[in-house]
Structure 1
Amino acid sequence: MNKNLDPALVRALFDYKDGVLYWKAPAPKRTQAGAVAGCLHKQSGAWHINYMGSKYLRSRLVWLWHHGEFPAKAWIRRRNDNPTDDRIENLHARTSLENTLDLGTYRGTVPGVTCAESGFIARLNDQYIGIYQSLDDAEQAFALAYTKRYGTPPPQAKGGVNKSAGCSFNTSPPPPFFIANGISPANIQGAGE
């Protein structure tokens, strides 16, 4: 994402209505004025907009359109966790740590752990810890990495944790590049550095 994108350019390119950006004038190839800008990304479920060879998350462009700058905090989250709901009243800025702690609340698991097709992914801010077949193992790996980095146990998720939310994923072993050099709760000493 180009952090130097001019807000005036964004307002000149797009009209905004109810969380959707529309092209004001024909811009990229085969795009007509009034057409919905962007396309739905199949993996993330979020809208992406391509402009001048760069890809932008629609949520960030909506934020820029309304506020005239990107947030000082690194992340823009959706209050209702619907990746297609980019209404400005649904967007709020979060730090990397707040985003990590929110993931559990939003995803129905625990802070720092998300459910993926191949298992539970533990992540501290932007650092990948590992992928685990068990929610408890992923939660323990996150807690150990958090404690190592910050010196205290992680705070509890806002609104409690729903460990019964379940995670539907492929039970075959994850690809080798996802195993993160064999990191597990038993050998987490190197995580979080």
Structure 2
Amino acid sequence: MTKSDFPASLIRDLFTYEDGLLSWRMRPQSLFRTKRACSVWNARFARKLAGHVHVSRSGTRRKTIITILGTSERHLSSRLIWTWHHGEWPSGLIDHEDGDTLNDSIGNLRDVTSAGNSKNMRMHPGNTSGVTGVCWHKKLGKWKAEIMANRVKKHLGVFDNIEDAAAARKAAERMLGFHPNHGRASHV
């Protein structure tokens, strides 16, 4: 999602933050056309959790979506929480260090580039070896290790056993600045 047109200072006026969750604040009557509309909104939403959990069609991606001030502009709660804490919109993507897109605790969020975000991914669900970047090379009868960084795939070698291939892959990840959680088991 891109930067919002909403000023970052408005986020603290609209929400309270506690334990990775945003709740709606009471809204002043100046934001409404009538006193009744203000009363109805505050009775219905104030002090309640903001947003809803959106699940992708495949069921693998989950995130909390929040609509602000009745506009059609939807926001990820992680971006709003980052803005609430730092007073400005994130410059890149928000990465969840532990991989749980519903864990929006500020200590779990990082403002990263797209390349940085790709260095903290789960294992692909189609992986058959159980180790990211390692596969069986049928023709050679050995384990092959490779890594992709900055859109360049690098061959790390072929190995007699999977442990050596995995060690080569992990060493390359450390050298290229991958997050320690990269390649963790995929949730289904």
Please give the range of the TM-score, normalised by the shorter of the 2 chains. Answer: 0.5 to 0.7
> Equivalent residue for 2:93?
75
> Equivalent residue for 2:152?
147
Question: What secondary structure, in the 3-state scheme, does the structure 2 residue paired with 1:84 have?
Answer: coil
For normalisation by structure 2, the TM-score amounts to: 0.58
Kindly tell me: are residues 45 and 99 of structure 1, through their superposed partners in 2, closer, same or farther at Cα, counting changes over 3 Å? same
Q: Percent identity?
A: 27
Aligned-pair CA distance for 1:39 = 0.3
Residue identity in the other structure for 1:69: E
The CA deviation string for residues 117-174 of structure 1, in whole angstroms up to 9 with x for no partner, is xx57xxxxxxxxxxxxxx849x9997498227xx9989524448758x4786xxxxxx
Kindly tell me: are residues 152 and 98 of structure 1, through their superposed partners in 2, closer, same or farther at Cα, counting changes over 3 Å? farther
Aligned-pair CA distance for 1:18 = 1.0
Kindly tell me: are residues 7 and 31 of structure 1, through their superposed partners in 2, closer, same or farther at Cα, counting changes over 3 Å? farther
> Equivalent residue for 1:55?
74
* Unaligned runs of at least 5 residues, structure 1: 121-134, 169-193
Question: Would the aligned equivalents of 1:146 and 1:152 in 2 still touch at CA under 8 Å?
Answer: no
Question: What secondary structure, in the 3-state scheme, does the structure 1 residue paired with 2:45 have?
Answer: coil
Question: Would the aligned equivalents of 1:20 and 1:86 in 2 still touch at CA under 8 Å?
Answer: yes
Question: What secondary structure, in the 3-state scheme, does the structure 2 residue paired with 1:41 have?
Answer: strand
Question: Would the aligned equivalents of 2:119 and 2:182 in 1 still touch at CA under 8 Å?
Answer: no
For normalisation by structure 1, the TM-score amounts to: 0.57
- Structure 2 counterparts to residues 95-174 of structure 1, below 5 A: 95-103=113-121, 107=122, 109=123, 114-115=124-125, 119=126, 136=135, 143=148, 146-147=151-152, 155-156=172-173, 157-159=178-180, 165=185
Find 1:92's aligned residue among 110, 113, 131.
110
Kindly tell me: are residues 9 and 97 of structure 1, through their superposed partners in 2, closer, same or farther at Cα, counting changes over 3 Å? same
Question: What secondary structure, in the 3-state scheme, does the structure 2 residue paired with 1:11 have?
Answer: helix
| The structure with more radius of gyration | 2
- Structure 2 counterparts to residues 14-33 of structure 1, below 5 A: 14-25=15-26, 31-33=44-46
Aligned residues: 139
